[in-house]
Structure 1
């Protein structure tokens, strides 16, 4: 994905505390967008949530993997990471890639975050409530919602909620992607980001720009046009077997006659 975007964008891959190759600095937080909304131009949202967990299955998962079961699995066999990667990648993960993810947690003392994280899905309810309360500050920002249809964790209810929160959104469904959409559908995601960015900057659909972006993407990566995603809107207008629309404008223009991806 970085290779496909680096020619047009400044790409930063953050080293998340407890899950990267570097130690975490003191005093880090997770609310920069709410503290400095003027510095945020838009959002790309993918299979996530931003409010206290409500569904029973999510709470059970948090209590089990974030409790004694998760601690034992993490200590004995890196079980939490193995579970996440096996369930979260719908197309299957090559052994070398799985080993790359596991390599960060070879030592038992490094595995604590893999148990703490699922615990915090439920335990951080007050923090998540604060985040959700502040989202109206950001709701006028353009948003690209990328959603894996085979996610075991976050599904249609979460996607619909984000679509209601961000009225000026474009949603791209990824039929073959699970929770880790970057592993299942990287080419489709890159194509969607490029299109969305240029549409957002132009403020309207421009078919010549659309074709130029497509051509550049194919030439740079020497691949055919991705075919595994479909556009979805709040209205759910179905065109030629795919869902297409663009929200946030007076006239819901069709972006193109066929799927954007």
Structure 2
């Protein structure tokens, strides 16, 4: 998918996502789409599955308004990035892709905001270059080994069956637009979150993210996730903020408490009535909470 596709977003989605598009051709041949908005200290925002840079649209505008530069990539297979049928859709590759973007843009200092799979990817990047990290914001995410997985997600990790449900029936991205938000999404926002994932081919990364969840040592991404977890010790003296929707059915309060063990000094904000899509449910209160932490 080329940058030109950004102009093909539905008009109401473009109103929600009024950003210029940028591209990076990775050494593996795939093209990554990303936002590069504003000037000033850098905030890198990493999405998870099945969202894309659209998820951060309001936080981007909030941070740009107070003098920050926001870098927000769409992981390969997601958003407006390429969606190759053959690609190494693994945690290790995701980390390398983000590192390539930072290197291409010559970014040697940044703060990090992560959500969902963005936690493992972003903390993986930060653990490899801890001196570059200023602050870390964790939004309903994980970056450590865990066997806690909702049954409904475990069921669609099963090969063949899971791929069919996710790619043919849209049985992951579709339900997420309803289940991940406790406050019903506006039609334009729901359309924006789902727009990149309209067909079997478009959902290749949605399936591969689920397939890449490493629950056992034999899984190909287990070692990488172990290294990400070990790397959290490199970040223990950094300013960390935990912003959590307590009604998240996936990255629930167990994950929040586990992060508190890694970062006992972290600033915390728990929202008892909000779910996984904390930036949608929480609205401006949450955007400002994150902004205050990053700017103070």
TM-score, normalised by the number of residues in structure 1: 0.69
Equivalent of 1:42 in 130, 135, 138:
135
8 Å contact kept, 1:44–1:143: yes
Secondary structure at the counterpart of residue 137 of structure 2: strand
For 1:49-64, what aligned pairs fall within 5 Å after superposition? 49-55=142-148, 58=149, 60-64=151-155
CA distance in 1, matches of 2:293, 2:195: 35
Give the structure 1 partner of residue 156 of structure 2.
65
CA distance in 2, matches of 1:59, 1:82: 17
Residues paired across the two proteins, number: 197
CA distance in 1, matches of 2:178, 2:80: 22
**Which deviates the most, 118-127 or 184-193?**
118-127
Please identify which structure carries the higher strand content: 2
Give the structure 1 partner of residue 15 of structure 2.
none
8 Å contact kept, 1:47–1:148: yes
How far did residue 198 of structure 1 move? 4.2
CA distance in 1, matches of 2:150, 2:229: 18
CA distance in 2, matches of 1:161, 1:74: 29
CA distance in 1, matches of 2:210, 2:178: 16
8 Å contact kept, 1:66–1:117: no
For 1:87-102, what aligned pairs fall within 5 Å after superposition? 87-102=179-194
How far did residue 61 of structure 1 move? 4.2
Give the structure 1 partner of residue 17 of structure 2.
none
For 1:117-132, what aligned pairs fall within 5 Å after superposition? 117-122=209-214, 123=219, 124-132=221-229
Query: Cα–Cα, structure 1 residues 158 and 64, in superposed 2: closer, same or farther, change >3 Å?
Result: same
8 Å contact kept, 1:91–1:176: no
- Per-residue CA deviation, residues 108-141 of structure 1 (Å, 9 max, x unaligned), is 2121211111121234322211111121111111
CA distance in 1, matches of 2:145, 2:161: 22
Equivalent of 1:20 in 79, 88, 93:
79
Give the structure 2 partner of residue 114 of structure 1.
206
Structure 1 residues without counterparts, runs of 5 or longer: 200-261
Give the structure 2 partner of residue 208 of structure 1.
none
How far did residue 60 of structure 1 move? 3.8
In terms of Rg, which structure is larger? 1
Q: Report whether the alignment pairs 1:85 with 2:177.
A: yes
How far did residue 59 of structure 1 move? 6.3
CA distance in 1, matches of 2:291, 2:188: 29
- Per-residue CA deviation, residues 139-169 of structure 1 (Å, 9 max, x unaligned), is 1111011000110101222111111211331
For 1:1-261, what aligned pairs fall within 5 Å after superposition? 1-8=59-66, 9-23=68-82, 28=97, 30=121, 31-55=124-148, 58=149, 60-67=151-158, 68-122=160-214, 123=219, 124-199=221-296
Q: Give the aligned CA root-mean-square deviation in angstroms.
A: 2.2
CA distance in 2, matches of 1:62, 1:116: 13
